[in-house]
Amino acid sequence: MVDYCIHICKNSRLPETDPNYCDKVFIEEDRENAQDYPSSQIYCPECVKKGFKNKHRKKLTEEQRKEIGKRLRQARKQKNGL
């Protein structure tokens, strides 16, 4: 199952006076397990057309996601002494 999330263009981090500033919102696959809402980790399709490049995003399998979640839970338990 593919998860989707709302993104805001990465160029929204620029000052509003910058000519490359962009605050477009779009829906895209959640390949990075976004923790922010909306996520601002990638450029919108229009900025990509202008030449901005998104880093190659590795698509995780469901098994890999579960394993990462398991490791994070174990690390949190150890950190909290539970």
pTM reported for the whole predicted model = 0.57
Q: How far apart are CA 60 and CA 66, in angstroms?
A: 10
Domain regions of the chain by residue span:
4-80
pLDDT tens digits, one per residue of 18-44: 999 999 998 887 766 666 667 777 888
Query: Quick one: which of 30, 39, 28 has its CA closest to 59?
Result: 30
pLDDT of residue 65: 78
pLDDT of residue 15: 93
Helix ranges (DSSP H) in the chain: 45-50, 62-80
- Token pair listed for 52: 């901005």
pLDDT tens digits, one per residue of 38-82: 777 788 899 999 999 887 666 667 887 788 788 888 888 887 765
